[in-house]
Structures are given as structure tokens and as C-alpha cells.
């Protein structure tokens, strides 16, 4: 796995990945520690399309962005249904199965910071730790509050915001955390609002109030209602080819 990941993070990623089986989460095959004992290797599905971060700046059709957004929602909803929080959602941690954007399927990856919680009731309450990449942190995580499922949803908002704006969020702001730059945040919200297929409610993912953000299941329902069925069906057919 990544060379910048600690041994503990790598082992935790393997344990988490072994429990998960979903089309929008990178597939786990095996893990092992070589004889030198200084490394830990995870064998996982190969994603030929690289990371979503590599596609920021591309002139992607809105139907593709919406399809990827729904797949992000599907993968995160599955994780939350298993009482697992990702805790570091950003473009660099989302893979694509194919270099062709019309055929690519989203694959959530880099689960080294993920954690399983004891019960479904805690998935929407608190975890006694903070995590993630500071720039992509939600307002709550940025001030040191414990991580919740709604912070994963903020991460989805940041990922989609970059795809819509065709620019990485750090290019918008010099703040330590994107959430602290009111001007940049509003610019990204406005960009997303102009994507009709996302529906007006999508902006809630970047709301400072976590109670106003969609859950993953609500995001899926929203997109299914906001996207014309014919457009979504056409994208699904291209993905399955």
C-alpha cells in the first residue's frame, strides 16, 4: 500500500477492507508482511483510471459528474451501513476503474484512517478522535470536534465541488482549511448550483451545520429525484458496457 502510511494504518486498512464488499469500494484480495518486517503489503483491485484528483480540471460532462456523485453516495452509504466511517474523503483517495470517464466506476480507497464504530447509533453521534486531511476538514473537525458520518458527507461535497469547478480547492484558497474561507466556499457552492442535474439541495453537503447536510442515503434519494430517469439510465448503460 502507500509508502507514507504507518504500519498501524496499513493493518487497520486491511482489516476494514476485508469486511467490505461493494462495487464502489476498492476490492481487497490479501495482505502480508514480508520477511524484513519493515513493510506491510495489501493486495487490492487495480484501478486503471487513476484518482479523481487527476480528473479535476477536465471538461467532464455533467452527467458523468452526477453519476460519480451517486456512486460516491452508494459507497459511503454502504460503509455507514456497516458502521464504518471513511474519515479522509478527498479526490486523491477516490479511484476510477477506467480511464474513459464515461465507463469509469468510482472506487473508494485509502481506508487507513477509517474506523468501525460499535453500533449504528454511534455512526451519527461522535467518535472520540479527529482525522483526515486538514484542508478538506469540515468546520466541526477543523475546530477539533469528534468525527461523525456527516463529516464524510462534507468530503463528498468537496470532491464534487472540485470536479464542477474544474479546479482543486487549494487553488481557491490559502486558508489552512477550505471551510474557513467563506468567499471560496460560496464560489464552489454557486458552481454546484449551476449544475442542474445535481439539484439545488446538493449544496447542503457544504453547509456549516452538519444537521443540514444530506446523509449518504438521502443524497442517493435526492439525486434519483433530481436527475431525469432517462439521463441516469443512459449513464448506467454506458457504465455496464
Active site residues: 88
> Kind of pairing, strands 28-32 and 84-85?
unpaired
Dihedral sign computed on CA atoms, order 78, 16, 240, 228: positive
The residue ranges of DSSP E strands in the chain, in sequence order, are 28-32, 41-44, 84-85, 94-96, 106-108, 115-116
3-state helix/strand/coil string of 170-212:
HHHCCCCCHHHCHHHHHHHHHHHHCCHHHCHHHHHHHCCCHHH
Q: What is d(CA 154, CA 48) in angstroms, rounded to the nearest whole number? A: 27
Q: Are 99 and 55 in contact (CB under 8 A)?
A: no
Provide CB contacts within 8 A for 73, sequence distance 6+: 156, 216, 217, 219, 220, 223
Q: Are 107 and 95 in contact (CB under 8 A)?
A: yes
The one-character DSSP state at 127 is -
Amino acid at each position: 500500500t502507500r509508502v507514507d502510511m504507518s504500519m498501524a494504518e496499513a493493518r487497520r486498512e486491511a482489516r476494514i477492507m476485508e469486511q467490505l464488499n461493494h462495487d464502489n469500494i476498492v476490492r481487497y484480495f490479501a495482505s502480508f508482511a514480508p520477511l524484513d518486517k519493515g513493510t506491510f503489503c495489501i493486495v487490492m483491485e487495480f484501478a486503471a483510471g487513476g484518482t479523481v484528483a487527476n480528473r479535476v480540471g477536465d471538461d467532464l460532462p455533467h452527467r458523468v459528474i452526477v453519476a460519480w456523485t451517486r456512486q460516491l453516495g452508494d459507497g459511503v452509504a454502504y460503509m455507514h451501513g456497516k458502521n464504518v466511517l471513511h474519515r479522509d474523503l478527498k479526490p486523491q483517495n477516490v479511484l476510477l476503474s477506467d480511464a474513459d470517464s464515461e465507463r469509469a466506476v468510482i472506487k473508494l480507497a485509502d481506508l487507513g484512517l477509517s474506523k468501525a464504530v460499535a453500533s449504528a447509533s454511534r455512526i451519527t453521534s461522535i467518535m472520540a478522535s479527529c482525522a483526515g486531511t486538514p484542508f478538506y476538514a469540515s468546520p466541526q473537525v477543523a475546530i477539533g470536534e469528534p468525527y461523525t458520518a456527516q463529516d464524510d458527507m462534507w468530503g463528498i461535497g468537496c470532491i464534487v465541488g472540485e470536479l464542477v469547478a474544474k479546479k482543486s480547492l487549494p487553488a481557491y484558497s490559502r486558508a489552512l482549511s477550505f471551510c474557513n474561507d467563506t468567499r471560496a466556499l460560496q464560489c464552489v457552492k454557486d458552481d454546484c448550483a449551476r449544475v442542474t442535474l445535481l439539484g439545488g439541495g446538493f449544496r447542503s453537503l457544504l453547509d456549516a451545520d452538519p444537521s443540514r447536510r444530506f446523509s449518504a442515503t438521502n443524497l442517493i434519494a435526492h439525486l434519483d429525484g433530481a436527475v431525469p430517469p432517462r439521463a441516469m439510465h443512459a449513464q448506467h448503460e454506458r457504465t455496464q458496457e
